[in-house]
Amino acid sequence: MIKRFLRKARRFWFASLQEQLNSLLRHARSRNYQEYENREKLENPMHLDRFGYKVYSQNDEDGIIQEIFKRIGTGNKTFVEFGVQSGLESNCHYLLFNGWRGLWIDGDKKSFSSLQKHFAKPLASKQLTAINAFITTENINKLIGEDGGIKGEIDLLSIDIDGNDYWIWEKISCVEPRVVVIEYNAKFPPPCEWVMEYNPDHIWDGSDKQGASLKSLESLGKRLGYTLVGTNTNGVNAFFVKKELAKGLFAEPATAENLYHAWGSPYASGGHATKTYIGAEIPA
């Protein structure tokens, strides 16, 4: 009886150990492959990865934006950015610092009050216009074109509202940005296509229910006349350039599969926490 119990215990222990070893091997193979891919991107000067750095941006967006305009040149040095909070940590703060002009929009009253305080000088000189408003597909063109006074071609559009980003970009028609920076949901790696259902009252709850997958944004960009040219290394923002400006200047193929980075770090996966089922409903 005891011998039989010990034999079963040994078999269970060895099976458990084997499963742990297999899991470690799978993780190691995956990590090694990611390390290889990231190293390849860093060594290839056509990729934007090596050029990223932070001045005032949240991650390495400042350096990537500078490199993009180094390749395609600048036009009127005008930007539109929304979802800036206080503006201190934003994709266009460094551009403003370097003499660009533009428009910031944010819906949070407390953050907007801080923005007004910190950027009183460029606001007073009209180098910067700031609007406190909650953005929807219904009001975005009025906010930019009428209230913000910016129309036609601009150099940069930056979108980061943790939710309806895809739908807002699709709707913008009052400006024609040469470059677009937009947050993507790295929870869903290519070739997965997923877009959050539009909700004009959406406020992000910290879960994975926000934005759109990189593949879906790639498809939208193509439809709007843009080429995906890169993502930052911790899987937050995607960078698009007008198709006619991007030819031969960036990494190819210009696909989500080639340019995707996972969320959090070069070796992370999983993205934000799951709080509810967000998959497609399949009819019975």
pTM, whole model, 2 decimals? 0.84
Per-residue model confidence (pLDDT) at position 107: 93
Instruction: Please say whether the beta carbons of 74 and 85 come within 8 A.
Output: no
Round to whole Å and give the CA distance between 139 and 66: 30
- Does any domain span residue 276? no
| Mean pLDDT in residue range 248-262 | 96
- Does any domain span residue 269? no
- Does any domain span residue 25? no
Per-residue model confidence (pLDDT) at position 33: 47
Task: Look up the CATH number of the domain holding residue 168.
Answer: 3.40.50.150
- The set of residues, in sequence order, having a beta carbon less than 8 Å from that of 179 and lying 6+ positions away, is 65, 68, 69, 72, 155, 156, 157, 239, 240, 241, 242
Would you give the distance in Å from CA 95 to the centre of its chain? Answer: 18
Q: Kindly report, residue by residue over 145-199, the tens digit of the pLDDT.
A: 999 999 999 999 999 998 899 999 999 999 999 999 999 999 999 999 999 999 8
Do the bridges between strand 128-132 and strand 101-106 make them parallel or antiparallel, or are there none, so unpaired? parallel
282-to-162, 199, 231, 279 alpha-carbon distances in Å: 26, 21, 32, 9
* Number of domain units in the chain: 1
Round to whole Å and give the CA distance between 223 and 226: 7
The residue among 118, 97, 113, 174 whose CA lies nearest residue 141 is 174
Round to whole Å and give the CA distance between 126 and 130: 10
Q: Kindly report, residue by residue over 14-57, the tens digit of the pLDDT.
A: 566 667 666 555 554 444 445 556 777 778 888 999 999 999 99
Instruction: Please say whether the beta carbons of 201 and 135 come within 8 A.
Output: no
